[in-house]
């Protein structure tokens, strides 16, 4: 309640003191606790509250933004003066768009009392379990356990007002012994839904499967990408999935909206009503959240769009607030029966664009790679480098596993993709 009252007082101050033609005002608070461990011991341990207070103003089309990290009156006065003086010194922005008006926001619940009340002692107890598990295997474990409570407030001179409170708990751990290293991670909105024992079982299962890796010659090889790997890929796909860049001809998506550009088995959505995923009440630009189909059975339905470009095209501005890929019903063992041989990849790493226009990316595998043949895992193999045009790779999706809640913002399936382009092999 004190937090809301402080924000209300700040809003009154801004309304009384800001003389700009238009403005947006936001307050973001976070209460964070991070416990980081490595080599079976805690190496970092951080706690504190952060605040970001931001004011964007416009005099006609001249704009300026200032941010401070306190809500006291001196800071707010400094905020108003700085933003206004920046705007007055600035050139008019030919793409200026007035702030958002009042609107109805979706009812969402991103807050969990279980997470908010999580104690440091419980977080350290969890890490103790990880370390004990590693010691049993004469291995070492490293990772991080983190708890976040975030509040976001956003208002505009034109009448928009939104407030949202979210929680999250994340835990990741990498276990290593000799040549074997593997990782699992999971995050949830509600700590009660986090199952430490299940995560440890998953880690052990991956760890035990990775014995004495050997080198496998790179080439076009069928791959089973587990959900953590698919999610890494999605981050980079979303990064380039912008409507304006597509229309301006700098990405592979030019002229493809409404057309089948991805594989039939590839559908990507954002949804407000998934009980395990964060729902976007409103975006940092003040756009109310809604259910969005981005790619439906390979057809591009929508692309990320900012307010200026949305207004120009007369379409809604939109951004993904969660990542949901449609899954299937094929199990991993069934996938292994569908191709003669292939590799199972736990995760991808260091993905970077090779060529923005063709949509070619490079990256490596990480956290363990298994070679299978005739439906059976044979042995683990060294990591690969891959160079792949990701949207064309979706045309080679042969099967999908059930979509699982991989992080508090993502529900992702395992994918079986034919002829994945592995181009090099590492020494481990």
Partner 1 sequence: MELLDQAMDSARSLGADYADIRIQNSRTESIFLRNLSLKNTSLRETHGYGIRVFKDGAWGFAHSNAFSRDEVERTVKKALAISRQSSRIKYGKGLTLAQERGYIDTYSTPLIEDPFSVSLAEKVELMLEINQALLNFQDIIQAVFTLECQKDEKYFASTLDARIRINTVYIEPMFSAIAAAEGDSQSRSFRPGGKATGWEWIRSLNLAEKAEKVAEEAIMKVRAGSLATEERRDLILDPIHLSLTMHESVGHPTELDRVLGWEADFAGISFATPEKLKKFRYGSPLVNFFGDNTLPGGLATAGYDDDGVPNQKWLIVKEGILNEYGSTRATAPVIGLTMSRGCNRATNYYDFPINRIPNLYLEPGKERLSPQELIADTRDGIYIQDQGSFSIDQHRVNFQFGGDMFWEIKNGKKVRPLKKIIYKSNNPEFWNSVDAICDERFFQTFGVTNCGKGQPGQRGRMTHGGATARFRQIRVGGSQ
- 19-78: contacts with partner 1 (CB under 8 A): 32, 34-51, 56, 63-70, 78
Taking CB under 8 A as the criterion, which residues in 292-351 touch partner 1?
A: 308, 349-351
Long-range contacts of 196-203 (CB under 8 A, 24+ apart): 196/126, 196/129, 196/171, 197/129, 199/171, 199/173, 200/129, 200/130, 200/133, 203/133, 203/173, 203/175
> Measured from the CB atom, is 317 or 403 closer to partner 1?
317
Looking at the Cβ atoms of 247 and 274, the one nearer to partner 1 is 247
Interacting residues with partner 1 between 215 and 244 (CB under 8 A): none
Nearer to partner 1, 63 or 152 (CB): 63
Task: Show contacts with partner 1 in window 162-181 (CB under 8 A).
Answer: 172-174, 176, 181
- Nearest CB to partner 1, comparing residues 99 and 383: 383
- Decide whether 328 or 363 has the Cβ nearer to partner 1: 363
Within residues 114-153, the interface with partner 1 by CB under 8 A covers 120-121, 124, 127-128, 131, 140, 142-144, 146
Cβ closest to partner 1, residue 59 vs residue 276: 59
- Rounded to a whole number of angstroms, the minimum distance from the CB of residue 13 to partner 1 is 17
Q: Using CB under 8 A, which of 356, 373, 374, 402 touches partner 1? A: 356
Query: How many residues interact with partner 1 (rule CB under 8 A)?
Result: 86
Please state the closest distance from residue 14 (CB atom) to partner 1, in A.
Answer: 17
Nearest-approach distance from CB 85 to partner 1, in angstroms: 8
Q: Does 200 bind partner 1 (CB under 8 A)?
A: no
Contact with partner 1 (CB under 8 A) among 366, 391, 396, 411: 366
- Of the candidate spans 102-110, 190-198, 292-300, 359-367, the one that interacts with partner 1 by CB under 8 A turns out to be 359-367
């Amino acid at each position: 309640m004190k937090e809301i009252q402080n924000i209300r007082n700040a809003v009154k101050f801004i309304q009384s003191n800001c003389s700009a033609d238009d403005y947006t005002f936001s307050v973001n608070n976070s209460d964070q606790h991070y416990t980081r461990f490595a080599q079976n011991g805690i190496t970092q341990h951080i706690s504190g509250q952060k605040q970001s207070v931001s004011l964007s103003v416009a005099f006609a089309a001249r704009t300026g933004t200032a941010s401070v990290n306190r809500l006291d009156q001196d800071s707010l006065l400094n905020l108003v003066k700085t933003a206004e003086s920046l705007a007055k010194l600035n050139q008019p922005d030919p793409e200026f768009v007035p702030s958002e008006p009042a609107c109805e926001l979706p009812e969402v619940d991103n807050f969990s009392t279980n997470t908010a009340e999580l104690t440091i002692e419980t977080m350290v107890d969890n890490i103790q379990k990880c370390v004990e598990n590693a010691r049993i295997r004469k291995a070492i474990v490293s990772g991080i356990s983190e708890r976040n409570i975030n509040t976001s407030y956003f208002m505009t001179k034109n009448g928009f007002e939104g407030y949202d409170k979210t929680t999250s708990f994340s835990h990741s751990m990498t276990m290593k012994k000799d040549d074997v290293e593997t990782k699992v991670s999971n995050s949830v909105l509600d700590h009660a839904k986090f199952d430490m024992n299940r995560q440890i079982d998953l880690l052990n299962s991956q760890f035990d499967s990775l014995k004495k890796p050997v080198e496998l010659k790179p080439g076009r090889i069928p791959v089973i990408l587990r959900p953590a790997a698919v999610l890494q890929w999605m981050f980079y796909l979303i990064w380039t999935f912008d409507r304006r860049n597509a229309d301006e001809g700098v990405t592979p998506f030019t002229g493809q909206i409404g057309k089948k550009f991805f594989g039939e088995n590839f559908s990507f959505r954002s949804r407000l009503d998934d009980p395990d995923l964060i729902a976007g009440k409103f975006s940092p630009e003040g756009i109310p959240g809604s259910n969005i189909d981005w790619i439906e059975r390979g057809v591009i339905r929508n692309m990320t769009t900012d307010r200026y470009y949305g207004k120009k095209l007369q379409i809604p501005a939109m951004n993904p607030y969660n990542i949901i890929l449609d899954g299937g019903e094929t199990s991993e063992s069934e996938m292994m029966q569908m191709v003669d041989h292939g590799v199972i990849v736990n995760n991808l790493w260091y993905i970077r664009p090779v060529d923005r226009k063709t949509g070619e990316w490079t990256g490596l595998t990480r956290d363990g790679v298994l070679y299978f043949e005739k439906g059976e895992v044979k042995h683990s193999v060294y990591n690969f480098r891959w160079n792949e045009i990701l949207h064309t790779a979706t045309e080679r999706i042969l099967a999908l596993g059930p979509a699982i809640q991989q992080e508090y913002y993502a529900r992702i399936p395992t994918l079986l993709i034919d002829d994945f382009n592995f181009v090099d092999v590492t020494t481990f």
